[in-house]
Amino acid sequence: AVMVVSDHSGGNLPAGMLVVQDRRRLSQLRGLSINLGADAAVYVPGDSLFINVEGGVLKKADGILQLTGITKDRIKKVSSGNEIPVNRVPVNQILADPEKFESTLLVVVKGGFNPLPAPTDTYAGNRTLNDGFGNNTLHTDPKSNFSGNTLPVLANFYGILLNVPSGDSTLPQLRMRKAEDEVVLS
């Protein structure tokens, strides 16, 4: 069974993308994005699913490793309301091995912005997030329901890591799922 970590209620994840993770392979946390279309929004964080992947195709699309060819009838919800363990990851580890963390829910602890935000700066667009170990992009879709919220000085940021196209390669990008993924510290 895999655990759902995507939450489309905030409007900040790629549409139609169901993001799941599990720890079965060598006890390492691994994530997977499944291009499910409108049905992706049916599932919420903490749902445990069995997915029949037979005949599905694993491919990179828009920089993200995705499983395609899966429909809702191949997914069985086992349970819901399960706790998702917190995966605290310093930015330098993300930058060193972005594929390891792709499509997983993680938290950047004691993150601030570079440059320091003005009182009127909002989440919309790409912001440089720094946790003292490195800089990473925090992306917020201007159409998300929290893009107009002002930036905190210091917070813990929960989000899903996606590797997005940048020239001939990809760059890791953290995407908060909803406004509650920000836990303000100051």
Q: What is the pLDDT of residues 99-152, one digit of tens each?
A: 999 999 999 999 999 999 999 999 999 999 999 999 999 999 999 999 999 999
Q: How far is CA 11 from CA 6, 59, 99, 175, in A?
A: 11, 24, 24, 10
DSSP summary character for residue 117: P
Q: How far is CA 35 from CA 14, 38, 121, in A?
A: 9, 9, 33
138 by DSSP, 3-state: which?
Answer: strand
Q: Band of the pLDDT at 46, cuts 50, 70, 90?
A: very high
Per-residue pLDDT averaged across 2-18, rounded?
97
pLDDT of residue 9: 97
pLDDT of residue 47: 98
pLDDT of residue 27: 77
Q: Band of the pLDDT at 185, cuts 50, 70, 90?
A: very high
Q: What is the pLDDT of residues 51-104, one digit of tens each?
A: 999 999 999 988 899 999 999 999 999 999 999 999 999 999 999 999 999 999
Pairing relation of β-strands 155-166 and 169-175? antiparallel
pLDDT of residue 186: 66
